[in-house]
């Protein structure tokens, strides 16, 4: 006995009279293409000035990144601009115009050390409103994912800003089964973390399962708790260490930060060959609109950025 699917129902079939002529379709397609060209030309040939609201929020972002950078320098920890923040630095020397998020990458050994020392540095430097914690997966409300540096303000609801710190791991050997084993190891890692197993113990077991290394090898891969692979934003790939080191320095807004040696190749592997063009689909995190209409928001952000700048100027 056959099963009738949703699209088998007569009322759900596309009627011929509902379809537009091919010539109209091609015309609409050309309009979209033209709009994309306008956007690309706008961002290639013009430097657009942000509104005072956006400027003050970004000044606060630069200072949060500077605080993170100060901690890393103090403890000799390497990191690099990653994902959207790297794309912004390469394409705009600043944020991607519609983005308000901060992303960095770290190799696992430095990542573990950062987790150990960051809260102590917050307290030592009296970095008011800065906090740190592992991100909790939105889907199951339990799984601990990557490490985050967050900025909250007592007068505002929710997280104002955040740095997502993504771990990466050196790989000793890659074979045809590695990707499948990677996904299985991810499940095992989450189960251990869900049970509140010690973070270091969970990492040790992960390294045994995938034959990973804390020491530099020719290849590396995004940590299992990051945003690569099945059910994630970016595809799974094996990266070449020689394209990461030695770091270059890129301007990002008010300050400069480390970036992959071949940043273009890093971005191409993530976003595809057209990463220098404005995409047809844009993804934002919604925080800009959340605070836009708050009374005295410009003054709140301006004072917050100056307070954090003062903390950075007097970093211990």
The alpha carbon torsion through 84, 89, 91, 93 (nearest 10 deg) reads 140
> What is the Cα–Cα distance from 13 to 15, expressed in whole angstroms?
6
Residue 13, pLDDT score? 64
Give the chain's mean pLDDT: 87
Weakest mean pLDDT among 4-18, 55-69, 100-114: 4-18
Q: Per-residue pLDDT averaged across 23-32, rounded?
A: 80
Residue 3, pLDDT score? 40
Non-local CB neighbours of 136 within 8 Å, separated by 6+ positions: 142, 143, 144, 145
Comparing CA positions, the residue from 292, 316, 307 lying closest to residue 75 is 316
pLDDT band for 24, please (50, 70, 90 cuts).
confident
pLDDT band for 123, please (50, 70, 90 cuts).
very high
Residue 144, pLDDT score? 79
pLDDT at 72 over 80: yes
> What is the Cα–Cα distance from 293 to 135, expressed in whole angstroms?
28
pLDDT at 185 over 80: yes
First to last CA, the chain: 75
Non-local CB neighbours of 276 within 8 Å, separated by 6+ positions: 90, 91
Structure tokens at 3: 């099963």
> What is the Cα–Cα distance from 136 to 155, expressed in whole angstroms?
24
Residue for token digits 């197993």?
197
Q: Is the separation of the CB atoms in 250 and 90 below 8 Å?
A: yes
* pTM (predicted TM-score): 0.85
Residue 12, pLDDT score? 56
Taking the domains of the chain in order of start, what are their residue ranges?
16-46, 50-313
pLDDT digits (tens, 9 = 90+) for 139-167: 666 667 899 999 999 999 888 999 999 99
What DSSP line would sit under 232-273, residue for residue? SSB----EEGGGT-SPEEEEETTEEEEE-TTHHHHHHHHH-T
pLDDT at 225 over 70: yes
User: When comparing pLDDT for 75 and 99, which is higher?
Assistant: 75
pLDDT band for 252, please (50, 70, 90 cuts).
very high
pLDDT at 182 over 70: yes
pLDDT at 216 over 70: yes
For the beta carbon of residue 208, count every other beta carbon within 10 angstroms: 10
> What is the Cα–Cα distance from 51 to 63, expressed in whole angstroms?
18
User: When comparing pLDDT for 225 and 275, which is higher?
Assistant: 225
Structure tokens at 76: 């000799």
Residue 171, pLDDT score? 97
> What is the Cα–Cα distance from 112 to 117, expressed in whole angstroms?
9
């Amino acid at each position: 006995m056959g099963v009738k699917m949703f699209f088998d129902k007569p009322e759900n079939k596309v009627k011929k009279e509902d379809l537009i002529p091919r010539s109209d379709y091609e015309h609409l397609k050309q309009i979209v293409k033209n709009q994309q060209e306008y956007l690309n030309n706008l961002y290639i040939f013009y430097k657009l000035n942000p509104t005072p609201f956006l400027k003050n929020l970004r000044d606060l972002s630069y200072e949060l990144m500077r605080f993170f950078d100060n901690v890393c320098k103090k403890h000799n920890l390497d990191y690099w601009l990653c994902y959207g923040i790297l794309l912004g630095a390469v394409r705009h020397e600043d944020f991607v115009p519609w983005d308000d998020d901060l992303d960095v990458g770290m190799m696992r050994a430095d990542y573990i050390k950062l987790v150990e020392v960051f809260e102590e540095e917050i307290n030592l430097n009296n970095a008011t409103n800065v906090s740190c914690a592992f991100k909790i997966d939105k889907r199951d409300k339990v799984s601990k994912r990557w490490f985050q540096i967050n900025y909250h303000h007592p007068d505002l609801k929710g997280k104002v800003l955040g740095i997502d710190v993504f771990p990466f791991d050196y790989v000793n050997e890659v074979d045809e089964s590695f990707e499948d084993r990677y996904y299985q190891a991810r499940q095992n890692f989450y189960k251990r973390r869900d049970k509140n197993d010690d973070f270091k113990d969970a990492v040790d077991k992960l390294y045994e399962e995938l034959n990973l290394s804390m020491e530099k090898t020719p290849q590396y891969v995004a940590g299992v708790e990051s945003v690569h692979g099945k059910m994630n934003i970016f595809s799974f790939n094996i990266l070449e260490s020689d394209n990461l080191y030695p770091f270059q320095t890129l301007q990002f807004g008010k300050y400069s930060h480390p970036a992959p040696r071949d940043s273009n190749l890093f971005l191409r592997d993530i976003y595809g060959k057209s990463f220098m063009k404005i995409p047809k689909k844009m993804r934002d995190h919604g925080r800009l609109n959340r605070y836009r209409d708050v009374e005295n928001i410009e003054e709140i952000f301006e004072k917050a950025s100056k307070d954090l700048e003062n903390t950075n100027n007097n970093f211990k």
